[in-house]
Homo-oligomer: A and B are copies of this chain.
Amino acid sequence: MKSTASTSEKILDVAQSLIVAGGYNGFSYADISAAIGIRKASIHHHFPAKAELVAVLVDRYRRQAEAGLNALHEQVASPAEQLQSYLNYWQTCIRDASQPFCVCAMLAGEMQMLPDEVASRVRSHFHSLAAWLTSVLRAGAEQGLFRLNRQPEDEAQMLLASVHGAMLSARALGDPELFSTIVTTQLAKLTK
């Protein structure tokens, strides 16, 4: 189905994989140009400025993420399974190297030198994710599935940090399985 994707979507796809690999300053219009066989100027037609391209990209990423998480709420009943599905998603992405890092986690590292329009969107994504995790943990605690020793908000932030930190460690050590090891170890502390 990739052949039916519009040019703008192809640009966003390539840009996203480049950002995941090297961050905001780690890619150029020339890189995208070379990857999809189009001139630099044509990319500027679709996205006049780099900051705008990335802002649109993050919007799309957030929309997809939120849709995925909401789908979990409808398809999977148990909060424990919702949480497991979220972790499995990243486990799969990292194992097959299809997307070995969260776009927003990558950009969060560069926060201080990101254009405002990008930085604010990254910040919003962190808020959304934390809110989703909080609701899952709270529901799970009420059903006696999780044993929280702090507020659901704090436990959610801790879980989120573990996931992002696990991505970083897996990448640093070049060991995709390390991600699974870490999040499993973390999960054990919640369900024990």
Selecting from A18-26, A56-64, A85-93, the interface stretch reads A18-26
Known: A164-B169, A165-B164. A22 touches B112 (CB 8 A): yes
Q: How far is the CA of A127 from the CA of B164 in the complex (A)?
A: 18
Q: Which residues of B contact A163 (CB under 8 A)?
A: 165
Copies in the complex: 2
Q: Of residues A109, A110, A149, A166, which shows the largest number of chain B Cβ atoms within 10 Å of its Cβ?
A: A109
**Considering only CB atoms, which chain B residue lies closest to A22 in the complex?**
B113
**How many residues of A sit at the interface, in one of the four size bands?**
35 or more
Selecting from A40-48, A65-73, A174-182, the interface stretch reads A174-182
**A134-168 interface code vs B (CB 8 A; 1 in, 0 out):** 00000000000000011000110110111111101
Q: How far is the CA of A186 from the CA of B192 in the complex (A)?
A: 15
Query: Quick check: A169 and B26 within 8 Å, CB to CB?
Result: no
Which residues of A approach B to under 8 Å, CB–CB? 21-23, 25-26, 101, 104-106, 108-113, 122-123, 126-127, 149-150, 154-155, 157-158, 160-166, 168-169, 171-174, 178, 181-182, 185-186, 188-189, 192
